[in-house]
Structure 1
């Protein structure tokens, strides 16, 4: 599915970065505002990278995929590629933002550890204040400000931090099925349209049984549950941030009839598509650890 008709800008990690720093960037609020001359950060935009947002101010708020999330000092927010977010201009946020490209975790990490970390960015994940996490991120910030940025050390710190979070969250720890599961998630990201589980299994050249086993082993959820979550999140983004008619959104997401789309949304959220456009900010929609 393409989003060219959306009135939603997409921000790329590498637009203004040197090749050697394309994998990761560490931003202070000052650096972000210096780069953002037109206030784009305060308007919804889709990203093609993963984000770790760390709060050092007393309170803050941030919007991700239609949900305005209240944050306190030491809290961490994680969200991944294709998310739609914005900084709340009225919020007195201070802290750091770490932006990471898709393949950053794959280099030098075992598939198991890379998978555990990537699973944290599948949805918007809220991590409550923890003194160990805060100390690690403050050290990351310090290292990033040096003349010779200590990128290997920063990576080791971030990997350790995220594996600690994943362990607490009891993210996927088993190896069997990870390749199938990862391919399944990539397919969901690359094709926003609603596909049957049988179609997905055929596209991945695996049996439905093997796909189901891989998904349950790695996430505790069935392929249908994971597919429906993905479709729901994308539907909310389009309802909240695009000007497309609901019938067009339904068509883009692969629903044969707009009525089926409305029934799907109603069953998942207890709201109609029209109500989501008006009221979604009042609905809880993030994964807390």
Structure 2
């Protein structure tokens, strides 16, 4: 495909010139002042989450709009598209950390997979901290912020961040993993990962089922038990999301996007997109310009 850039990718979690930085913890108001010009659709190649202790306006994650409310927290996985429209009265905390941040610290390289809110799934991205947990939230975030300023305390900083993630899990949590068969959850999670890597080339649930050593019917049953969608619907939703991400880049024409997503021709892509959204690709582009 063309070498044109698609959506700008912020490739350093500190968003500054320190290419070795794997973590940033900052007060939200300061972060916005420094990066006030980032009000355009962009991706991160790191985990990014924000706690609003106050604020107004809105933010978009993968074309879903969320109105800001006090003690709202949102999580973004690498690769998601994001922009914001804040009103200037925001306060809270920002935490960015690289995917490799825990690699030398935890024996399990897939440890972060246990946290559903870091998965990038739509129903896990944004939620409001219950009132009973808000005081504790401020204490933990502020402790992480203060600890992060001591660059010699590398392991202590990691422990503080891990404590924050575990604390959130304790009351929000990986509900799917806790309430269902662990084996089925592993299958479901592995299927999601395979789809993420291969959705452009492989659209057949049967092929994924073979890789997971189960039958297509079993894979369908597992997917429906967790999110109410079939294995095929999960693939189609991922293709649709990528199409939306590509469409907001006006330097790509519709035919180039169709080729990138492995559609046989432009008309087939248009038919697929309109069936899913009710809009043609051109109409979606105009509405999201």
Q: TM-score range by the shorter chain?
A: 0.7 to 0.9
Deviation of 1:113 after TM superposition, in Å, equals: 8.5
Structure 1: which 5+ residue stretches go unaligned? 282-289
The structure having more radius of gyration, on CA atoms, is: 2
Residues 91-170 of structure 1 mapped to structure 2, 5 A cutoff: 91-102=88-99, 107=106, 114-117=113-116, 120-123=119-122, 125-146=125-146, 147-148=149-150, 150-151=156-157, 152-166=159-173, 170=175
Following the alignment from structure 1 to structure 2, what is the Cα–Cα distance between the partners of residues 30 and 113? Answer: 28
Change (3 A) 1:102 1:209: farther
1:83 aligned residue = 80
Offset from partner CA, 1:92-119 (integer Å, 9 cap, x none): 4332222244466894789899435256
Asked if the contact 2:13–2:97 (Cα under 8 Å) also holds between the matched residues in 1, the reply is: no
Residues 1-289 of structure 1 mapped to structure 2, 5 A cutoff: 4-14=3-13, 22=22, 24-33=23-32, 36=35, 41-88=38-85, 90-102=87-99, 107=106, 114-117=113-116, 120-123=119-122, 125-146=125-146, 147-148=149-150, 150-151=156-157, 152-166=159-173, 170-173=175-178, 174=180, 175-193=182-200, 195-204=203-212, 206-280=214-288
Deviation of 1:192 after TM superposition, in Å, equals: 4.7
Change (3 A) 1:208 1:66: same
Greater relative contact order, per chain length (Cα 8 Å cut-off, separation 6+): 1
Following the alignment from structure 2 to structure 1, what is the Cα–Cα distance between the partners of residues 24 and 206? Answer: 40
TM-score of the superposed pair, with normalisation by structure 1: 0.77
Aligned residues: 274
Report the more deviating stretch, 48-57 or 245-254.
48-57
Deviation of 1:18 after TM superposition, in Å, equals: 7.6
SS, match of residue 244 in structure 1: coil
Following the alignment from structure 2 to structure 1, what is the Cα–Cα distance between the partners of residues 126 and 67? Answer: 10
Offset from partner CA, 1:50-86 (integer Å, 9 cap, x none): 3222112241321222344221111122222211112
